[in-house]
Amino acid sequence: MTATRRPAVSRRPRPSSVFKLPSVRLSIGVLVVVAFMAIFGQAVAPQDPLNQDVSALLQGPSLHHLLGTDYLGRDVLSRLMAGSRLQVLSVLEAVGIGLVLGTIPGVAAVFLGRWFDFIANRIVDGLMTLPSIIFAVSVTAAIGNGLAQAMLPIGILLAPVFFRVTRAATLQYSQAQYVEAAQLLGASQSRIIRTHVWRKVLPTIAVTTAGAAAAAMLAVSFLTFLGIGVHPPAPSWGGVLASDLNFLSQDPWAPFVPGLLIAITVGALNALADAIRDRTSGVAVLNEVPLIDLDEKDVYDDRRSVV
């Protein structure tokens, strides 16, 4: 008697890793350099970023000053390296505030009923109408001129982005068949969120976080360019960019280096967000492809993994 042969099991193809993309590797390299400057920049700076040399005002690049000096004779490279910590910490603060205030209500709006969803959406709609810079200036004027205070309104204005993205992704996965099966089998909402929804939403949140970090980087640079949140002579990227604007006729290339540093960092964050979004969207498409020719063991394993 010939034994019956089990049908072949079809498997979904696994998407290639996002870290294999040249743009992602380049972006990570840029961000690693920025992180290194944020951690060790002030310690490894070639000169004291606050030291003034009246004999070397508005000098161009040289062996002693690799990126030249500003209108007070301070070394530009040292000021950029020392200001990286304040720049990065401010971005992390703003993104962290937006992440907490946006993702938690975004998930809760799907599972806590229509009234909570309605109220949360109206609050988000109201926040999205506020002009970001004017709101940040108003808050810092009310609670104090510091970069930590300035990042509070920026983080609040980033929360609607996290809320809308998280709510849309949660709503999509909460209607999946395996979630309905878990509900029928008696799984609690907290278990459903932890096991079946949250890990699916995380890639979307990662994309939003990278994009929000780029927006926060621009906001920090713009505020410090205006002199908001930073007390002179503390160095910052926006402050270095603004320091020589009155001396463009003597030193026209001076704003190029800090502006290029800001542009490269923001571009690296946006490129990383685009790459993660492309890869995660590919995974989402693969997850929608139905599996065929599964044997009984695979079906049994799938039923066991529902809850």
22-41 per-position pLDDT tens digit: 888 899 999 999 999 999 98
Q: What angle do CA 89, 95, 99 make, to 5 degrees?
A: 140
> What Å distances lie between residue 25 and 20, 58, 176, 268, 272, CA to CA?
7, 36, 34, 10, 9
Q: Region 261-279: what's the mean pLDDT?
A: 89
End-to-end CA distance of the chain: 40
> What is the distance between the alpha carbons of residues 198 and 230, in angstroms, rounded to a whole number?
38
pLDDT confidence of residue 281: 62
Please, which pLDDT band fits residue 293 given cuts at 50, 70 and 90? Answer: very low
Most confident range, picked from 45-54, 288-297, 298-307:
45-54
pLDDT confidence of residue 268: 93
Any bridge partners for residue 75, and if so which?
A: 69
The three-class DSSP label of residue 115 is: helix
Contact 79, 49 (CB under 8 A): yes
> Does the pLDDT value for residue 53 go beyond 80?
yes
pTM value? 0.80
- Picking from 187, 173, 172, 130, the residue whose alpha carbon sits closest to that of residue 155 is 130
Please, which pLDDT band fits residue 1 given cuts at 50, 70 and 90? Answer: very low
Task: Count CB atoms within 10 A of the CB of residue 155.
Answer: 23
> What Å distances lie between residue 217 and 139, 229, 305, CA to CA?
19, 14, 42
- In degrees and rounded to multiples of 5, residue 126 shows phi and psi of -65, -40
Q: What angle do CA 207, 209, 212 make, to 5 degrees?
A: 110
CA dihedral sign of residues 127, 130, 133, 135: negative
Q: What are the residue ranges spanned by the domains of the chain?
A: 31-39+76-286
Contact 90, 147 (CB under 8 A): yes
Please, which pLDDT band fits residue 302 given cuts at 50, 70 and 90? Answer: very low
pLDDT confidence of residue 63: 85
> Does the pLDDT value for residue 249 go beyond 50?
yes
> Does the pLDDT value for residue 135 go beyond 60?
yes
Please, which pLDDT band fits residue 264 given cuts at 50, 70 and 90? Answer: very high
pLDDT confidence of residue 245: 78
For 214-242, write each residue's pLDDT tens digit: 999 999 998 888 888 787 788 889 888 88
Specify the higher pLDDT residue, 253 or 12.
Answer: 253
> Does the pLDDT value for residue 190 go beyond 80?
no
Task: Count CB atoms within 10 A of the CB of residue 178.
Answer: 16
**What does the DSSP assignment read for 205-220?**
HHHHHHHHHHHHHHHH
- Picking from 87, 30, 135, 133, the residue whose alpha carbon sits closest to that of residue 239 is 87
Radius of gyration of the chain (CA): 25
Q: Which helix (H) or strand (E) holds 3?
A: none
Assign domain 31-39+76-286 one CATH number from 1.10.3720.10, 3.40.190.10, 1.10.287.3240, 3.90.1300.10. Answer: 1.10.3720.10
> What is the distance between the alpha carbons of residues 227 and 19, in angstroms, rounded to a whole number?
38
> Cα torsion for 26, 29, 31, 33, to the nearest 10°?
-140
> Does the pLDDT value for residue 58 go beyond 50?
yes
> What is the distance between the alpha carbons of residues 214 and 209, in angstroms, rounded to a whole number?
9
pLDDT confidence of residue 10: 42
Contact 23, 271 (CB under 8 A): yes
